[in-house]
Structure 1
Amino acid sequence: MPSQQQPASPALDTLIQRSGLPSPSLSQAQAHALLQAHYGLAGELSSLGSQQDLNLRVDAPEGRFVLKACHASYAQVELQAQHAALAYLHDQGLPVPAVQAAQTGENLLAVEIEGQPLRVRLLDYIDGQPLTRLKHMPQCLMAELGALCARLDKALVGFDHPGLERTLQWDPRHAQALIAHLLPVLQDAGQRLRVEQATRLASEHLAPLADLLPTQAVHLDITDDNTVWARDQQRQWQLQGVIDFGDLSRTWRVADLSVTCSALLHHAEGDPLRILPAVSAYQALNPLTEAELRALWPMVLNRAAVLVLSSAQQLAVDPGNEYTRANVAHEWQIFDTATAVPLSLMQAAILQAAGLRTDTVEFSACLPLLPELAGKPVNRIDLSVLSRHYEAGNWEQAGFDQHLLATQPAPACTLHGQYRLSQTHIDRAEEPATCALGVELHVPFGQRIQAPAAGTWHHHGGGRGCLRTPNWALWLQGLEGALADGQAVAPGQSLGTSAGLLSVQLCLDTHLEPPFFATPSQAAAWLALCPSPAVLLDIDCNAEPLPDPQALLARRDASFARSQKHYYEQPPQIERGWRNYLIDMQGRSYLDMLNNVAVLGHGHPRMVAESARQWSLLNTNSRFHYAAITEFSERLLALAPEGFDRVFMVNSGTEANDLAIRLAWAYSGGRDLLSVLEAYHGWSVATDAISTSIADNPQALETRPDWVHPVEAPNTFRGRLRGPDTAEGYLRDVDAKLAELDGRGRQLAGIICEPVYGNAGGISLPAGYLRGAYAKVRARGGVCIADEVQVGYGRLGEYFWGFEEQGVVPDIITMAKGMGNGQPLGVVITRREIAEALEAEGYFFSSAGGSPVSCRIGMAVLDVMQEEGLWDNARDTGRYFKARLQALVGKHPLAGAAHGSGFYLGLELVRDRETLEPATEETMALCDRLRELGIFMQPTGDHLNILKIKPPMCTTRASVDYFVDSIDRVLSEGL
């Protein structure tokens, strides 16, 4: 495109003239006088900003309005077309403002103020806010904007008016001439070159499509700035109205969507493919033709260029326009994002988003690249997330894949389109590029490589080069004796010989040097551009497609009882774990901040070895005599307080607590139990009876049997009494429940309580609470059960058992969860007299509890915790973690409090620090956003407003920093 190209018609002369007009000048006094004289209104005025118009909000007793003034160069018929469109769309049920008539009955005034001929009108003001300054826009909201654009286009297809025929600088049909004219306004030569190159490419793609694009009336400015929104009670954005019809005209239909897509780019976080939900949503409601879809991205590029050029031009003629100046940065962000990926990639992605097939190329006439290999069996090397070659984190070693390939018998190959585990990364927000767009081969050294078709060889040094043909390019790495750069090549001509490992990649965009790996979200589009080189190699080197995770989820819902919920509405398919990370099938590693079962971390090699070894020997029930059950029982008793001398082994925390209830009944002779409100103890009939958390069971408080007596939750943050010195106040409710039982002559069985409030995020009980409660219970012949299932076994960092913080010793300890690192394993530890009380009611037996495999794994967990310093890590890293969470509380009003210690922490979110109104919806939104950033976290607590943070105990400071920094980022973005 020539940088000084001039407009070719009087209409375009008008366009250029308009593009250089400053905004109208209207003082507050003049605006007040105009409103009073023509509309009989008086009120407060505030500027709404505009690039070339003047928009003032009017707050009057009669309501809110927008006073709009523009230069008289905008023909009256153009403005009347806008008014007609507003009425037309209103009649079709679309939320648009109404035009207010002046006292004369006119809805459009021609006035002159200080020599400025202006056109003035008054519209209703729509309450709400635009989305322009959202720091993070979810993709579902992008889809809503795309759907809105489709709805308006469908509505306007039947609208006509003489004022639609206008010359407008934003009309994409004039973009090339306008860009050529405005290009010199960019003073920075580098910026000027970038704009020129991008728009030249856009024009080349757009030119052959122009005559195929249907036209109609379009809004041409359906953006985050010209739509008004408000949040409902669930914090979801709801559309209030569409405003600013100043660009209404007749032009290409797809132009409307191109404007919407352009506006979304500054919300795309640098990845233009993030806006594709807008395209899909539009296509679902108002299908575009293939020509329109192919024209879409060239229009976006031109629109981005016009935005930056127009702002530069406007500031040159109107340097005081703060609206324009404020927009410059994000308009350059739009341009930068629009040009962040190749145009051909975006076109492929758009076609896919619209459900259309992408381009294909015929390779049947090509010769095999490696003639000695063609058609022969090849050793396919699986490098997927589930590959047997990966173990104990060896995929983290640099060059592991290539080393593995080189050690396999030749010929061997990696697989095209496979998501490789070795390409994952940790503690980072962006997706890892894991999808292989080519293949690597181990072939005999010196094997001949020939040109599959005629083309030109381009040498890139270091054994790398490209054979460029008219329809595709072949990229090779690992050549010896390659041709000279720029040499013409005939089919079958030698390109060189292999150096042992050879990388092969096809690309249908001959001007592009593609990456070898793509991120999962971009993989489909890149694979369309980089098809499998199997067609040139004549070998089977294609990966099997991944199973559809939604189909798998549907199968789960059809067979697995739905009361067994899964995390997230659309959960990723997790099939591998390593240390404190969980890995999906596309190779993304998620920081695991909620999995207190895998206390050592996922995939621990000691667990693999221990379980495999014992399974190879024996696994049976505990009525047989074997060493492991004795050794493990002794080690557990060594961890318990003095006087504890008996162990029961079970499969889970539920079973442990259920058995503890039976022991209390048997020893005390009573049935009545005290439990604490807001607590969870299990799912069996007995443990569900004593569980009072309405987050786990919404009917918990209405369905307690008469032998369960819940006492007031001693929640020192949001309970009736707040602060650490509240034990006596909370114990009064214990006294009241006990007095009631005494009055009825009932024998108390005991009390069960988590020594640290687990479901509430690890809140410490008020000092002295358990000491007082235990004394009162024991005085009545009851026993005291410490449910340590969530908080015990060193997870608190400062204490091995939670009850140690209260300075008490219970009668029964229950434990499960992390003591087996995922192996079903629970335990009840108590004294001999309590254990033997059960014998009077019959013997106890758990088929799998205390099996040889479980016992060996349980001992190995203790060994690893000691050897790897995990208890020390829980203490030291936990202190650092707590301090960082407390800093969030000091920074963000939504972060109400940080609870807990070690690796059992809680962050409670509130809307008001005084009322402690739970921020339930915000907490869910935060967890969903954290998942996007590669972190698993879920809300908990009776109000679902607490992040219960309980990661594997191998979690590092680096992971802590990433987690807290991510929360800081999301809270700063706004929820």
Structure 2
Amino acid sequence: MTEPSPTSELLARRARLLGPAYRLFYEQPFHPVRGEGVWLFDAAGTPYLDAYNNVVCVGHAHPHVVEAIARQAATLNTHTRYLHDGILDYAERLLATMPAALGHATFTCSGSEANDLAMRIATAHTGGKGLIVTRFAYHGVTSAIACASPSLGKFVQIGEHVRLVDAPSGGDDDTGRRFADGVSAAIADLRAHGIAPAALMVDTVFSSDGIFTGPTGFLREAVEAIHAAGGVFIADEVQPGFARTGEAFWGFMRHGVVPDIVTMGKPMGNGHPVAGLVVKPEVMRAFGQTSRYFNTFGGNPVSMAAASAVLDVIEQQDLQRNALRVGRYLRESLAALGQRHALVGEVRGAGMFVGVELVDDRSTRTPAAADAARVVNGLRERQVLLSATGEHANVLKIRPPLVFTREHADLLVQRLDEVLTAIAG
């Protein structure tokens, strides 16, 4: 009788203990036991190049962040209803990266909580409840925000107060106008149903929709449209924030707009459960007067130490510049690869956030979803980790830790070339 493999035993144990709701990546599930920089290692010590995990934005197990967490955990960790310098010191540093109009910071434990809170603030400020998001957006898992996360598919019911608009694809001079027209139509439809618009919320690289980053400035007209309707603009920076786009510290800055609210997620603490938002004081006022915000450990001393250490590393290692330079090199290398492989329809992105759209036919741009899955799993077999995104799951999603180098980019492109060649053959 054949003995069960360690992986099959682990899968059975996982199913028994965690139930059916959790999902795993890859046809052959990956079991890392250690991380360092841009690498994850399995139990045999095999290194896997991590080109996917943006949450650990300054690299797995960065010693400066680890030491800051350990030092503070050994000293004090308690809630934000006591006075503590750490939360104030970090708030000052965070706000200094933002436009001056954004004057208050509030902390949570996850990006979902931050987006949930942002909508509560927007509703209190505007008196409306209508929310506009893109057609395949993801903004979180709380009940209040999952209903505005259509990328969750059949697992979620879109709220009656939510309107979906097409993502700003195309990358031409009319991209901004088309997107603004969609937002204006959504505003009109909300009003036709007696719903006052409260907010336009977008992930500023539109990662779940398929990664749409150009041309810079295309968000301005849509932001003007929501403001004219009495609503606010919420920039979801959970994925594009903290220097990832290279061109700017925050994704919205690439478009020359100032959001009313900016939300952030766990890259803030390199994976430590800390997130939050910043907001214009006048937008926060009504919520502060009518609500009592309480989050037991949002902004606790250990979380603030982790977050501050992340800013240290980004500054000291000049990771925004690294994201700009290595990201450009990676996109150029991938575009060159596309000249040899018809499956590659387009390479797009900004900084260390790159999408490679795979198509069956370049003239019709028919999504190559099945081949994208083969590529993702083929790369996993060759010790490179990434995923796919977009409504048809045909866009390779590349967003490695910001310490990614040209050598790592070369390895990724080499392995991708091997997989595409195998598929073509």
TM-score tier, shorter chain, comes to over 0.9
* Residue 733 (structure 1) aligns with: 182
2:356 aligned counterpart, secondary structure:
strand
The Cα shift of 1:671 comes to: 0.8
1:657 aligns with 2:106: no
Does structure 1 conserve the Cα–Cα contact (< 8 Å) formed by 2:50 and 2:400? yes
- Counterpart-to-counterpart distance in 2, 1:679 and 1:838: 26
Instruction: Please tell me whether the aligned partners of residues 27 and 377 of structure 2 are also in contact (alpha carbons under 8 angstroms).
Output: no
In 1, Cα distance between the equivalents of 2:245 and 2:390? 19
Q: What CA distance in whole angstroms lies between the structure 1 residues aligned with 2:184 and 2:65? A: 47
1:692 equivalent among 129, 139, 150: 150
Structure 2 letter corresponding to 1:680: Y
The answer to whether structure 1 residue 713 and structure 2 residue 167 are counterparts is yes
CA apart distance, 1:909: 0.5
Q: How much has 1:355 moved relative to structure 2? A: 6.3
* Distance in 1, Cα, partners of 2:194 & 2:411: 57
1:928 partner SS: helix
- 2:82 is equivalent to residue 624 of structure 1: yes
Counterpart of 1:752 in structure 2 is 201
Equivalent residue number for residue 325 of structure 2:
876
Question: Do residues 967 (structure 1) and 416 (structure 2) align?
Answer: yes
Task: Tell me the distance in 2 between the aligned counterparts of 1:803 and 1:572.
Answer: 34
The Cα shift of 1:902 comes to 1.1
* Contact persistence 1:761–1:905 (CA under 8 A): no
In the TM superposition, 1:863-942 aligns within 5 A as 863-942=312-391
Q: Which amino acid aligns with 1:873?
A: N
Q: 1:675 aligns with which of 116, 121, 133?
A: 133
CA drift of 1:893 comes to 0.6
Give the 4+ runs in structure 1 shifted more than 4 A. 765-768
Deviation at 1:930? 0.9
Q: How far did residue 867 of structure 1 move?
A: 1.0
The equivalent of 2:11 in structure 1 is 553
Q: Which SS does the other structure have where 2:34 is aligned?
A: strand
Q: Give TM-score, length-normalised by structure 2.
A: 0.95
Q: 1:609 aligns with which of 63, 67, 70?
A: 67
Following the alignment from structure 2 to structure 1, what is the Cα–Cα distance between the partners of residues 166 and 388? 23
Q: Distance in 2 between matches of 1:729 and 1:697?
A: 25
Cα distance in 2 for partners of 1:745, 1:558 equals 47
Q: 1:765 to 1:877 in 2, by over 3 A?
A: closer
1:786-840 deviation digits (Å, cap 9, x = unpaired): 0111111100111211111211111000011311101011111011122221123
Inter-partner Cα distance in structure 1 for 2:411 and 2:100: 41
Distance in 2 between residues matched to 1:642 and 1:608, nearest whole Å: 31
> SS at the partner of 1:752?
strand
Q: What does residue range 230-309 of structure 1 map to in structure 2 within 5 Å?
A: none
Structure-to-structure mapping, 1:160-559, within 5 angstroms: 548-559=6-17
Q: Describe the SS at the equivalent of 2:366.
A: coil
Shift of 1:732: 2.2
2 CA distance for matches of 1:624 and 1:784? Answer: 32
Distance in 2, matches of 1:863 and 1:908, equals 35
Tell me how far 1:768 sits from its aligned partner.
4.8
Deviations 1:129-185 (A, max 9, x none): xxxxxxxxxxxxxxxxxxxxxxxxxxxxxxxxxxxxxxxxxxxxxxxxxxxxxxxxx
CA distance in 1, matches of 2:154, 2:82: 43
2:26 and 2:189 mapped to 1: Cα distance? 44
| Residue of structure 2 in register with 1:597 after alignment | 55
Structure 2 unpaired stretches of 5+:
none
Distance, in Å, in 2 between the alignment partners of 1:628 and 1:730 is: 41
Q: Distance in 2 between matches of 1:636 and 1:923?
A: 38
- 1:647 deviates by 0.4
Cα distance in structure 2, aligned partners of 1:684 and 1:899: 31
What secondary structure does 2:99 align onto? Answer: coil
Q: Distance in 2 between matches of 1:741 and 1:574?
A: 46
Q: Which has the larger radius of gyration?
A: 1
CA distance in 1, matches of 2:215, 2:328: 20
Q: Which residue of 2 aligns with 1:854?
A: 303
1:893 aligned counterpart, secondary structure: coil
Q: Could you list the per-position Cα deviations for residues 42-63 of structure 1 after superposition, in whole angstroms to 9, with x for gaps in the alignment?
A: xxxxxxxxxxxxxxxxxxxxxx
| C-alpha separation in 1, matches of 2:210 and 2:247 | 16
Q: Which amino acid aligns with 1:697?
A: G
1:15-41, Cα deviation, whole Å (9 max, x unpaired): xxxxxxxxxxxxxxxxxxxxxxxxxxx
Q: Is the 8 A contact 1:727 1:767 kept in 2?
A: no
Corresponding residue of 2:158: 704
> How does 1:800-879 map onto structure 2 within 5 Å?
800-879=249-328
Tell me how far 1:918 sits from its aligned partner.
1.1
Distance 2:176 2:253 in 1: 16
SS at match of 1:590: strand
How much has 1:745 moved relative to structure 2? 4.9
Local SS of the residue matching 2:397 = strand
CA deviation map 1:882-931 (0-9, x unaligned): 11111122221101111102111111110001111111111111111111
Aligned equivalents of 1:765, 1:677: Cα separation in 2: 18
Shift, 1:686, TM fit: 1.6
Question: 1:580 touches 1:955 (CA, 8 Å); kept in 2?
Answer: yes
Q: Per-residue CA shift, 1:502-530, capped at 9, x if unaligned?
A: xxxxxxxxxxxxxxxxxxxxxxxxxxxxx
Aligned-residue sequence identity (percent) comes to: 39
Any idea what SS the aligned residue of 1:639 has?
A: coil
Whether 1:954 and 2:403 are equivalent positions in the alignment is yes
State the shift of 1:750 in Å.
Answer: 1.5
Query: Greater relative contact order: 1 or 2 (C-alpha under 8 angstroms, separation 6 or more)?
Result: 2
Amino acid of the structure 2 residue aligned with 1:678: F
Secondary structure at the aligned position of 2:339 is classed as: helix
**TM-score, L = length of structure 1:** 0.42
Q: Quote the residue 1:945 is aligned against.
A: 394
Matched-pair contact (CA < 8 Å) for 1:777–1:784: yes
1:766 Cα deviation from its structure 2 partner: 5.1
Contact 1:761 1:904 in 2 (8 A): no
Q: Residue 729 of structure 1: CA displacement?
A: 2.9
How far off its partner does 1:610 sit? 0.9
1:585 corresponds in structure 2 to 43
Aligned pair count reads 424
**In 1, Cα distance between the equivalents of 2:6 and 2:306?**
35
> Would the alpha carbon gap of residues 933 and 741 (structure 1) be closer, same or farther in structure 2, given more than 3 Å must change?
closer
Contact 1:667/1:838 (<8 A) preserved = yes
Output the CA distance in 2 between the equivalents of 1:788 and 1:634.
Answer: 18
Given that 1:593 and 1:937 are in contact with CA atoms closer than 8 Å, whether structure 2 keeps it comes out as: yes
Q: CA deviation at 1:562?
A: 2.6
> In 2, Cα distance between the equivalents of 1:677 and 1:612?
42
Question: Do 1:647 and 1:828's aligned partners in 2 also have CA atoms closer than 8 Å?
Answer: yes
- Secondary structure, in 3 states, of the residue corresponding to 2:13? helix
- Contact 2:167 / 2:206 at 8 angstroms: preserved in 1? no
1:633 maps to which residue? 91
Equivalent pair of 1:709/1:737 in contact (CA under 8 Å): yes
Matching residue's letter, 1:670 = G
Matches within 5 A, 1:57-72: none
Per-residue CA deviations over 1:462-500 (Å, capped at 9, x if unaligned) read: xxxxxxxxxxxxxxxxxxxxxxxxxxxxxxxxxxxxxxx
In structure 2, C-alpha distance between the alignment counterparts of 1:754 and 1:729, rounded to whole Å: 17
Q: Secondary structure at the match of 1:968?
A: helix
Task: Supply the distance in 1 between the matched residues of 2:356 and 2:52 (Cα, whole angstroms).
Answer: 13
Which deviations, in whole Å up to 9, do the C-alpha atoms of 1:257-286 show, x marking residues without a partner? xxxxxxxxxxxxxxxxxxxxxxxxxxxxxx
2:340 aligned partner, one-letter code: K
- RMSD, aligned CA: 1.9
Q: Secondary structure at the match of 2:396?
A: strand
Measure the CA separation in 2 of the matches of 1:756 and 1:572.
Answer: 27
Q: CA deviation at 1:688?
A: 0.9
